[in-house]
Amino acid sequence: MTRWWTTDETHDPARTSWVASAQGHADFPIQNLPYGVFSPAGCQPRIGVAIGDMILDLAACADEGLVAQDAALSHPTLNALMALPADTRRTLRRAISALLSDPAMQAAVEPHLHAARDCTMHLPARIGDYSDFYVGIHHANNIGRQFRPDNPLLPNYKYVPIGYHGRASSIRPSGEALVRPCGQRKAPDANIPVYGPTARLDYELELGVWIGPGNDLGTPIAIHDAADHIAGFCLLNDWSARDFQAWEYQPLGPFLAKNFHSTISPWIITAEALAPFRIAQPARPGDDPEPLPYLADADDQAHGALGLSLSVYLTSAAMRAEGMAPMRLSHGPASNMYWTVQQIVTHHASNGCNLMPGDLLGTGTISAPLREGFGSLMELSAGGREPLSLPTGETRAFLADGDEVTLRAVARADGFMPIGFGECRAQILPARE
């Protein structure tokens, strides 16, 4: 089997497409070719591929024999396609790349292109389960210091990829508005809690990991096989109500503070597209423990991290009214993860838990050591004590109604064309009490 970091002609930076908008596109040049589920106006959802400012109807191409007909392409979700072996998916990717790069194919393929601006994007898969991890060590340290200044990391952090089971039903695609949640919160100086809208709404900058082929119940996934179970990646904003979280998280962890809405970018950036951008996992400090044997693999340490730059942007309602550009809140590398995505997949299945095609894993908030790379307002505002100033003169300790948060990611490597993830965006609506 071809290893997950192997490149081929589809990654060639000299390859161009006859789709004009693909040339130099910030997110979707021909070297990317992410999968999504879209619907043109008045049509049912179907599987598509992003190319420049256009979407290729992959199901229609299969119907006409332009790519090999596979039952997986006829579904209105990507679950069946994600379940295919990695080598089969790689073969399909090469066929799509050939269609979109060969001028001789333009006449046959062009009728199946749709302008992305005229289409609706949907969740790319039927998400059976969602688990969220906590692998951003700088975020864990930054948050931990606010509650435990002398001991920010709990003793298990450097041994166990910490995670919890989230709520799949409230995951939504980019662009769908978020309603401010209501719940219980208790101020430190109050005798009893109160119920009402969160006053400390926050975003979290995360990557989403899409599971491809699953595993049978009771059968763990070995670390050297874990990459074969990953279909692709997206951006994930795991919105959080910090005041609910502080009151409810003991003894069982996150619940209503996390499950009211999670936003994802709708395009699945395939594991194959990211082959050129696999980098070495940053070395652990010398006094940190080595991973236990079931999480240790030389190939994973050499190629298991991702060469991505992550950014967060904010606009307030007042900023949009004045035509102001979004304000960048933070920027940093995805390599600020203590555990690789292969390690979190292996750990998730290590007790025999059965992962399924289309399951989604979150990395947890990815932050940097310095403030310019912090991945949440809880960190940027020091728990609300140091509000940020916006260009309008407004301040933000936490998010206000009308605010819009956008996450973006770009993969870069010397000698290869950069590719992006598209945007992960949502605006905040007032609570429905």
pLDDT in tens, 377-430: 999 999 999 999 999 999 999 999 999 999 999 999 999 999 999 999 999 999
Q: Which residue has the tokens 């030389």?
A: 298
Does the annotation place 386 within a ligand binding site? no
Does the annotation place 169 within a ligand binding site? no
**All CATH 3.90.850.10 domain ranges in the chain, comma separated:** 130-429
* Length of the chain, in residues: 433
pLDDT digits (tens, 9 = 90+) for 193-217: 999 999 999 999 999 999 999 999 9
271, 272, 276, 281: CA torsion to nearest 10: 30
pLDDT for position 1: 52
pLDDT for position 2: 61
pLDDT for position 431: 98
- Give 329's pLDDT tier (boundaries 50, 70, 90): very high
CA-angle at 333, arms to 50 and 391, nearest 5°: 85
Strand, helix or coil for residue 233: strand
pLDDT for position 146: 82
Does the annotation place 365 within a ligand binding site? yes
Domain covering 9-122 assigned CATH 2.30.30.230 in the classification: yes
Is 139 part of the annotated catalytic residue set?
yes
Q: Which residue has the tokens 């790349």?
A: 97
DSSP string across 170-190 = GEEETT--EEPPEEEE--TT-
**All CATH 2.30.30.230 domain ranges in the chain, comma separated:** 9-122
Does the annotation place 148 within a ligand binding site? yes
Closest by CA position to 425, among listed 264, 195, 204, 187: 264
In the predicted structure, residue 369 carries a pLDDT above the cut 80: yes
C-alpha 136/C-alpha 369 separation (Å) is: 10
Does the annotation place 309 within a ligand binding site? no
pLDDT digits (tens, 9 = 90+) for 141-174: 998 888 787 878 888 999 999 999 999 999 999 9
Closest by CA position to 162, among listed 203, 189, 131: 131
pLDDT for position 299: 95
Mean pLDDT score of the chain: 95
pLDDT for position 70: 77
What is the arithmetic mean of pLDDT over 223-241? 97
pLDDT for position 154: 87
Does the annotation place 132 within a ligand binding site? yes
Domain covering 130-429 assigned CATH 3.90.850.10 in the classification: yes
Does the annotation place 15 within a ligand binding site? no
In the predicted structure, residue 300 carries a pLDDT above the cut 60: yes
Does the annotation place 87 within a ligand binding site? no
State percent of the chain over pLDDT 70. Answer: 100
| Helix, strand, coil in percent for the chain, rounding step 5 | 25, 25, 50
Among 25, 138, 139, 348, the one annotated catalytic = 139
In the predicted structure, residue 3 carries a pLDDT above the cut 80: no
C-alpha 46/C-alpha 115 separation (Å) is: 15
What is the arithmetic mean of pLDDT over 78-88? 95
pLDDT digits (tens, 9 = 90+) for 239-288: 999 999 999 988 888 899 999 999 999 999 999 999 999 999 999 999 99
Does the annotation place 35 within a ligand binding site? no
pLDDT for position 144: 84
pLDDT for position 143: 86
Rounded to two decimals, the pTM is: 0.96
Token digits of residue 218? 């009771």
In the predicted structure, residue 4 carries a pLDDT above the cut 80: no
